[in-house]
Amino acid sequence: MKNFIFSFLILFPCLAISQVTKWKEQIIDYSPKLLSEVNGFAKVELMQFADEYKVNAAARKTKNKNETLILVNDGASYYQKTNEQNETIEISRKANGIEQSIVLKDAVQSYPINSQGFILTNNFSHGSGSRIDFYSPDLRQLNIYKPFPVGYKGFNFGTLNNLVCLYTREDFTSKSFKLALLDQSGNVKQEKEFLSEEHTAFNIKITKKNILVFMHVYNSEINNYSSRILSFDFSLNEIWRKNINGRIQFDPLTKADSRQIVFSVGNNIFCLNELNGSNVWTASLPSNHGTSDNAIEILKSKFVNSDKYIVSVLGYYSKSNGQFQENLLYILNASNGTITYQNKIGSSLSELKILPTSSGFILLKDSQLLGIKPLKNN
């Protein structure tokens, strides 16, 4: 490993100026202690991992294979079962050995709004929907939101604490879209409609300062899609917009208490100032030339250690065998984009997942948990 890092600094001399963080890697076991070190959706993914790879036998005996865990909080676990044949879903809440459930007709998906257990559902099936329903933590229906009288054919949303921002479009050919800001109970606070070119909105983020809409916009000059980021205040007035060459990947990063927007296009990671959209830094991840030419590069990133680092996994997916030939791990300083650590993680059957913990992060690699922490003397 020392020779690898030394060679890396020769190739990238600018990194020799800054301190290179040392990280400890080790195989770890699933345990209650490990579960306590993650929160939010990371806890859900870790429990799904435990069930999939049969390390949580007690839970597996009672779990219906058609049942999906969607939320875990201190008091309860929430599951969804989907019946595709009659297009209904069942949402269940399990707490203190007691289970309650509701069956919703003409509904296809439920989504947690926050860790308290507020949930929204939609009936977006066959490329269209008509309504969005809001439910309380004890599964009582609170409100129904209908963005358009005749239904909608585009849907996305973002949440933060007790707020929900919904994006909808009336039909695929419409050059307008609607944003609605609601509270966790489904009460509308603001609602506005906007004109736009042909586009697809793929991510909505809410921070303490603004609402960010990420979209791919059709560019007729190149007969392809470029990208755009729109920033709105909480009255849904546009603050700024940023056009990006190329397609932003589907997992842009923001944090409620951070003024950074981090996203990737190809192997390049960009950081913008959330308040005005200006460029803060750009990092280019070295490509791995040892993989076959037909491999697809897939980049996933997460903030870890209270936004101090950005962890990125660049996977090389082979279309011929449906597996990842190689996975490269990069750790970047979030303040300036400097690559402080990199390592080869090897091949995998499926895409690696990054789960932030209280002290570092976990990589889910097939049936293996790889725990990674910064050394204390750094």
DSSP conformation class of 286: P
Is residue 94 within 8 Å of residue 77, measured between CB atoms? yes
pLDDT at residue 336 in the model? 94
Question: Which has more confidence, 74 or 272?
Answer: 272
42 located within any domain: yes
Domain membership of residue 127 (yes or no) is no
Q: Is residue 90 part of a domain?
A: no
What is the tally of structural domains in the chain?
Answer: 1
Question: Going by C-beta distance under 8 Å and a sequence separation of 6 or more, which residues neighbour residue 118?
Answer: 112, 134, 135, 136, 137, 162, 184, 185
Average pLDDT over residues 316-333: 92
| Nearest Cα to Cα of residue 122 among 139, 145, 100, 140 | 145
Q: Rounded to the nearest 5°, which phi and psi values hold at 55? A: -105, 0
Residue of 220, 251, 244 whose CA lies nearest to 230: 244
Indicate whether 145 pLDDT > 90.
yes
Predicted TM-score (pTM) of this structure: 0.87
Residue 327, domain extent: 19-63+287-378
Contact 184, 197 (CB under 8 A): no
Query: How long, in residues, is the chain?
Result: 378
Residue 180 near residue 206 (C-beta atoms within 8 A)? no
The answer as to whether 331 is a domain residue is yes
Residue 118 belongs to a domain: no
Q: Per-residue pLDDT averaged across 58-75, rounded?
A: 72
In this structure, is residue 98 part of a structural domain?
no
More confident residue, 291 or 40: 40
Residue 168 lies in a domain: no
User: What is the rounded radius of gyration, in angstroms, for the C-alpha atoms of the chain?
Assistant: 22
Is residue 332 in some structural domain? yes
Contacts of 181 by beta carbon, 8 Å cutoff, 6+ apart = 163, 164, 165, 188, 189, 190, 191, 211, 234, 236
User: What is the predicted pLDDT for the residue at 102?
Assistant: 94
Q: Per DSSP, what are the bridge partners of residue 304?
A: 309
